[in-house]
Amino acid sequence: MLRLSALALRRTLPAWLLLGFGALLLLAARGSAGPPLLEADESARACLRALARQNVWSVLLVLAPLLFLQAARLGTPAAKAWLAPAPARPAVLALVLALGCSLACLAVTTLAALVSEAALASTIATAPAWRRAGELESPPAVLLDTAPSLRWSAPRCAPGRRLRLWTTVAPGSGPAVTARFTARAGVRASVVEQRIAGRRALELEPPLAEDGALELELERIGSGALLVLPPHALELLEPVASERLTALALGTRAFLFLTTGCALALGLARRMRASLAAATVLALALLSWSTTGAGGFVPGGDFPRAWQELGAGLVPTPAPPWSLAGALVLAALGLALQAPPSMGKELPA
């Protein structure tokens, strides 16, 4: 059975695919190593490292359809005809083949994680990395000349957390304006002031509030464009131990997504052509990415959100626990499709 798993691993991830994947990973890692055009602050450097990580991980997403196709080819009746005399039950054979596919997915995910982190080995920041902890209420508004400030309350934050407020300027009202964001807790206050010329975030660490809520204020300083506070503008960030947790967060999602997709493709290939099985799995993945709420339980379904968080220079939140349960259910479905004896006319590979 171990040899059959190894065979499934080699068939799912043949040498040509592994070599091509490795070459593309190295090119993606090397392509993101240029010095910045302008001096960058820590937040901008975090965004650049995020871009380098995205470049490497995107190679894995490009590889996904090929992995599904290879797994599907493994599950066609023609490809498994030589296993018919084997004494093992079909369910066990399907499980062993799926295990080989899973090992291939683990190998490519680990390789992508290693290359992405190795490429950034010399540029990792000593400053803390941040993760999105949630969203706080903020009233959408436009700050006019007659009402240049806006106040609202927010629940107090745990020590070490930061507030990030997204602002922008009204189109056609001028090129830029100065904005000041203040968080008060009793007599203590934290303030940040910046020039806003487009979508831009104002970040501050709020003062510790022993009891009661935080008083927040956004002001438009001086003349200039109209300042806009869009909906869902206030985010709460929490520090994380290391930026390298990005590899874990993305790797978990990628592994669950690839493994589940391969198991489903393996199962579907018993009923349809391998290319159709791979395309069906890919279509289901795209559907889950575009469906609100699917990310909670479909493995890799919240990949776009994690990708967006990474693009903003944050460490993505860990994969939701329910996605593991979803992965097990979908993989079991793939095995169930693959396991029963074939009925009727078998399709060619």
Partner 1 sequence: MSAWSRSLAWAAVVALALASLAWPPPRASAPAPLLLLGPFAELCAEVQWLRFQAAQRRGEEARALELAESALALDPRASEGWQALAAHLVFDLASREREPDLARRRAAFQAGLAVLARGAERSARPQELELFRGLVLVAKAQHDPELDPRGAPALLRAAAEAFERAAELGDERAAELAAQVRAEAARDE
The residues of the shown chain that bind partner 1, judged by CB under 8 A, are 27, 30-32, 34, 36-40, 44-45, 47-48, 50-51, 168, 174-176, 195, 197-201, 224, 311-312
Q: For residues 16 and 3, what is the distance between their CA atoms, to the nearest angstrom?
A: 21
Rounded to whole angstroms, the Cα distance separating 255 from 12 reads 14
- At closest approach, how far in Å is the CB of 201 from partner 1? 7
- Count of other CB atoms within 10 angstroms of residue 10: 15
Spatial contact of 238 and 133, defined as CB atoms under 8 Å apart: yes
* Residue 53: CB minimum distance to partner 1, A: 12
Instruction: Give the side-chain half-sphere CA count within 13 A for 13.
Output: 26
Q: Whose Cβ is closer to partner 1: residue 32's or residue 149's?
A: 32
Question: What would the two tokens of residue 349 be?
Answer: 């590979």
Q: Which residue has the tokens 């949630």?
A: 134
Compute the least distance from the CB of residue 300 to partner 1, in Å: 22
Nearer to partner 1, 304 or 321 (CB): 304
In whole angstroms, how close is the CB of 309 to partner 1 at the nearest point?
Answer: 13
Residue with smaller CB distance to partner 1, 39 or 210: 39
**Residue 86 C-beta: closest distance to partner 1, Å:** 43
55 vs 102, which CB is nearer to partner 1?
A: 55
| Helix (H/G/I), strand (E/B), else coil: 191 | strand
Element housing 79 (H / E)? none
197 or 329: CB nearest partner 1: 197
Smaller CB distance to partner 1: residue 38 or 187?
38
Closest separation in Å from C-beta 193 to partner 1: 11
Rounded distance, CA 48 to CA 36, Å? 9
Q: How far apart are CA 262 and CA 103, in angstroms?
A: 11
CB of 108 to partner 1, least distance (A): 20
Nearest to 258 by CA among 9, 68, 76: 68
Q: Least CB distance from residue 10 to partner 1, whole Å?
A: 26
- DSSP letter at 12 equals H
Tell the smallest beta-carbon distance from residue 153 to partner 1 (Å): 26
d(CA 202, CA 178): 11
Which CA distances in Å does 140 have to 131, 182, 214, 250, 318?
A: 24, 17, 18, 32, 29
Buried-exposed string 240-263: b where 16+ CB fall within 10 A, e elsewhere? beebbebbebbbbbbbbbbbbbbb
Q: Please name the residue that has the structure tokens 């693009």.
A: 311
SS3 content of the chain, % helix, strand, coil (to 5): 45, 20, 35
Task: Say if residues 130 and 240 touch (Cβ distance below 8 Å).
Answer: yes
Least distance from C-beta 16 to partner 1, angstroms? 16
